[in-house]
Amino acid sequence: MAMTLTTAIPAANAEKPIYLDQNIPIEKRVEDALSRMTLEEKVALCHAQGKFSSKGVERLGIPEIWMSDGPHGVRAEINWNDWGYSGWTNDSITAFPALTALAATWNPQLSALYGKSVGEEARYRKKDVLLGPGVNIYRTPLNGRNFEYMGEDPYLAGEMAVPYIQELQKNGVAACVKHFALNNQEKWRGTVDVELSDRALYEIYLPAFKKAVQDGGAWSIMGAYNQIWGQHCCHNERLLNDILRGEWGFDGAVITDWGGAHDTKEAALNGLDIEMGSFTNGLTSESEFGYDDYYLADPYLEMIKKGEVPESTVDEKARNVLRLIFRTAMNTNKPFGSKCTPEHYAAAKAIGDESVILLKNNGILPLDGSKYNSILVVGDNAVRRLTDGGGSSELKPKDYISPLSALQALYGDKVKFAPGYACGRTLYEAEDTIPQEEQDRLRAEAVAMAKDADIVIYVGGLNKNSWQDCESTDRREYELPFGQNELIKELIKVNPNIIIANISGNAYEMPWVNDVPAILHASYLGTMGGASIADVIAGNVNPSGKLPYSIPVKLRDCGANSFGEISYPGIESGDTDVVAIPGSVIEGGKNPKQKYMEDILVGYRWHDTKKIPALFPFGHGLSYTEFEYGKPVVSESVIGENGKIMIEVPVTNTGAKEGSEIVELYISDLKSSLPRPVKELKGFGKVRLAPGETKSVKFEITPEDLKFFDDKKHEWVVEPGKFKAHVAASSTDIRHTIPFEYK
């Protein structure tokens, strides 16, 4: 029987279609490809074909898109149609520090190195879209996903996100900036309906996204799970149509978070381009439905054919998806990539080194090993592999250096270890309960060993289990879990020479803060993390990290947690218009309502304005040397509409050790028609200095830095009047104040 080919094979000398020619402007290529596609092919671009893949157009030679979880490294391969790992032996990677660690470096150059390095690994793994970076704002220390974000300040988050995005995308891998927007908690994340002022939205929660789009040039955006104004973020008319595309001019693709779509018509009309993971919880649950049943699959096709939504909607979606494909999967000029190279390990180590924050030190650090015969390390995080768990950020590192192994490499057999407490592996609400008898035994063992030790290094904190730093659940309490506070207090009683070196992506209560001589604060540092922590303890690395979020004394000192349940986590209503997914860990709650009662006063803005001191303020971080801030040189005392003020601050290392200092610039508006925070971060610079060396840090103030959002006018405004610029070592450590005027 003869076979008839239905697709003609072009002659060898046939003219290449426009959409295949990379020398032609991308918009012409998009329009050419679109003109050749059927309605069914356009719709097929708009939804998943597997757990982490969406379709191309096979007939036209347009490839599919492959996505991967990030942003701290390329996740191990997931099965095509379920959440199980594929069991490959060649998908191990470099685990880079968490983004909260990157933010703690306050170093945009390291952010660029981070994006370049993780982009090379994604390219090597043949990924077209890396699902990150995350730029949601740290609103409450109970949010289980804070470790994936870049702190409480929108300026810092934006400045650190842009270089990451730019360097990542040079590899032909799209950044997918997430989660747009207000995904500031995991409890009820799929249903909670957030109400907030436009001022809070525009001044606090949107600026980092805007900067990622306009300055970073992000090629894709991931919608959030939650609702705003009664409409889910993944097809929110105001968020996607009015703001993202209308006000910011975004030309990339909007991708749902996995399971974030809920309605075909809203998705058709309100700016969503690619639907992923529907009818699952995005983590563990499976669906009885096929990909053709997705909201933007056959139901969408039928609505178009019936005239219930215009075909122009799918044309616009197809344009955005084609643009993404041409920039990534179909880009023949992209590099080959690499992974687990010495360069990537060096990058991970450099980021980790600069991220470790010295909160307190009475001189016990750096630790001179020659002075001690016995060093006891206590704490589960000294040995736990902290790339495991955490939800979609879980990684499969080729290598992992633990703090204990790194300390043993530095101090040899002087180092002994006692776990002190136990915590089983708990994921997605399946919890291992450790018998109290076992906890008591481990505590007693550690205390007994501490009596005989010259010094104790405590490496505890949080981990990536559920109800800690983990996607799908928020923390249950502000204190450290597993009885760690009681353990630390008992260790102090028998040995006051204790160094706290906790690992956490969040702030936590420190009732023992006045009783310990030194406190280090580290986030999840990945492959090289143990080496970074050990080198800071030993003084091989001079700590230079500073807090990207405030550490309140107690939970109710945080603005979001000071107004009761209406502000966090929200109050359940009797309304059940949002249907929960059976077996889901993210959809619980009967459409809870939430109001951001603290409004624009997030983090240090709250502590400053309400005069509630933080235990450790935003921007705080010590060094093993000392820095002196000289008198600033100021170019002008008055700024006009098109003017600027230049400030140059000399900084001198007055100590005996080379180190880096982060100089911060805050601005205060002394009189405003609308309430404003006491001050806001508007600049920072990091400078490395040898002993006795002086360098200048330069700042530029423009009218843009003085603006606030007037929600009645729906515009950014700056009012004539008096201002102050504060040159600072932290949000509370003001070194110089410079008055100026805007006319």
List, by residue number, the catalytic residues: 257
Q: How many CA atoms lie within 13 A of 534 on its CB side?
A: 23
Q: From CA 716, how far away is CA 731, in angstroms rounded?
A: 24
Q: And the tokens for 625?
A: 């040397």
Distance set, CA 348 to CA 92, 98, 151 (Å): 15, 10, 19
| Residues with Cβ within 8 Å of residue 386, at least 6 apart in sequence | 463, 464, 503, 524, 529
Using alpha carbons only, give the angle 264, 265, 267 rounded to the nearest 5 degrees: 65
Buried b (16+ CB within 10 A) or exposed e, 492-511: bebbebbbbbbbbbbbbbbe
Q: And the tokens for 31?
A: 């329009």
**In whole angstroms, what separates CA 94 from the centre of its chain?**
18
Residue 441 sits at φ, ψ, to 5 deg, of -65, -45
**Can you point out the beta strands (E) in 466-577?**
498-503, 518-522
* Side chain identity at residue 516, one-letter code: V
Identify which of 601, 581, 579, 600 has the alpha carbon closest to the alpha carbon of residue 591.
579
Q: Are strands 129-131 and 65-69 parallel, antiparallel or unpaired?
A: parallel
Query: Do 119 and 133 touch, CB atoms closer than 8 A?
Result: no
Using alpha carbons only, give the angle 613, 203, 222 rounded to the nearest 5 degrees: 110
Residue 445, Cβ density class (10 Å: 0-12 exposed, 13-18 middle, ≥19 buried): middle
* CA-atom Rg of the chain in angstroms: 26
**Can you point out the beta strands (E) in 116-273?**
129-131, 174-180, 193-195, 220-223, 227-228, 231-232, 253-255
Q: And the tokens for 343?
A: 């360069």
Q: From CA 214, how far away is CA 251, in angstroms rounded?
A: 10
Identify which of 716, 639, 709 has the alpha carbon closest to the alpha carbon of residue 675.
709
Q: Which helix (H) or strand (E) holds 687?
A: strand 680-689
Length of the chain counted residue by residue: 743
Q: From CA 512, how far away is CA 489, in angstroms rounded?
A: 7
| Residues with Cβ within 8 Å of residue 37, at least 6 apart in sequence | 57, 60, 318
Q: From CA 606, how far away is CA 93, in angstroms rounded?
A: 40
**What is the DSSP code (8-state) at residue 73?**
S
